[in-house]
Amino acid sequence: MNIVVEGKAFIKNKIQQVCIGIENGRISKIAKILPKGEENYRFKKEIILPAGIDIHVHFREPGFTYKEDFSTGTISAAFGGISCIFDMPNTKPPTVTKKTTLDKIELAKKKAYIDFGLYTGITDENFEKIEDIAKYCNAFKIYLGSSTNTLLLDEKNLKEFFTIIEESSDKPIMIHAEDEKCLNEHKKIERNLTDHLRARPDLCEVKAIQNILKYRNKKNKIHICHVSSADSIELLKNKKDKTSIGVTPHHVIFSKNIKKKTLPDSFYKVNPPLRTEFDVETLREHLTDGFIDILESDHSPHTYEEKNVDLDEAPSGLPGVETMYPIFLFWSRKNLLPLHRIVSLLCKKPAEILNIKKGEIAEGKDADLIIVDMKNIQKIKTETLHYKCEWTPYEGMQAIFPRYTFVRGKPVIEDYTLVGKKGYGKQVKNNKDEQEL
**Is the distance from CB of 298 to CB of 249 less than 8 angstroms?**
no
Question: What secondary structure does DSSP assign to 244-290, as a single string?
Answer: EEEE-HHHHH--SS-SS--S-GGGG--SSPP--HHHHHHHHHHHHHS
Instruction: Output the CA torsion 220→225→231→236 (10° steps).
Output: 20
Sheet of 404-407, strand order: 26-31, 14-23, 3-11, 39-50, 369-372, 404-407, 410-414, 417-418
Which of 250, 300, 267, 252 lies closest to 87, judged by CA?
300
Which of 157, 141, 21 lies closest to 91, judged by CA?
141
**Is the distance from CB of 21 to CB of 27 less than 8 angstroms?**
yes
Residue 311 backbone phi and psi in degrees, to 5: -55, -35
Question: What secondary structure does DSSP assign to 83-143, as a single string?
Answer: EEEEE-S-SSS-S-SHHHHHHHHHHHHHH-SSEEEEEEEE-TTTTT-GGGTTTTSSEEEEE
Sign for the pseudo-dihedral over CA of 182, 186, 188, 194: negative
Which of 89, 92, 85, 171 lies closest to 123, judged by CA?
89
Q: Active site includes 298?
A: yes
Residues sharing a CB contact under 8 Å with residue 117, sequence separation 6 or more, in sequence order = 84, 85, 86, 87, 138, 139, 354, 356, 427, 428
Q: What DSSP designation does 190 have? A: -
Of 69, 279, 298, 368, catalytic: 298
Amino acid at the residue 57: V
Which of 149, 142, 140 lies closest to 92, judged by CA?
149
Which of 380, 386, 389, 394 lies closest to 413, judged by CA?
386
- What's the CA gap between 270 and 301, in Å, rounded? 11
Sign for the pseudo-dihedral over CA of 105, 360, 284, 47: negative
Beta strand 14-23 with 3-11 is antiparallel
- What's the CA gap between 317 and 70, in Å, rounded? 18
Give me the active site residues, please.
298
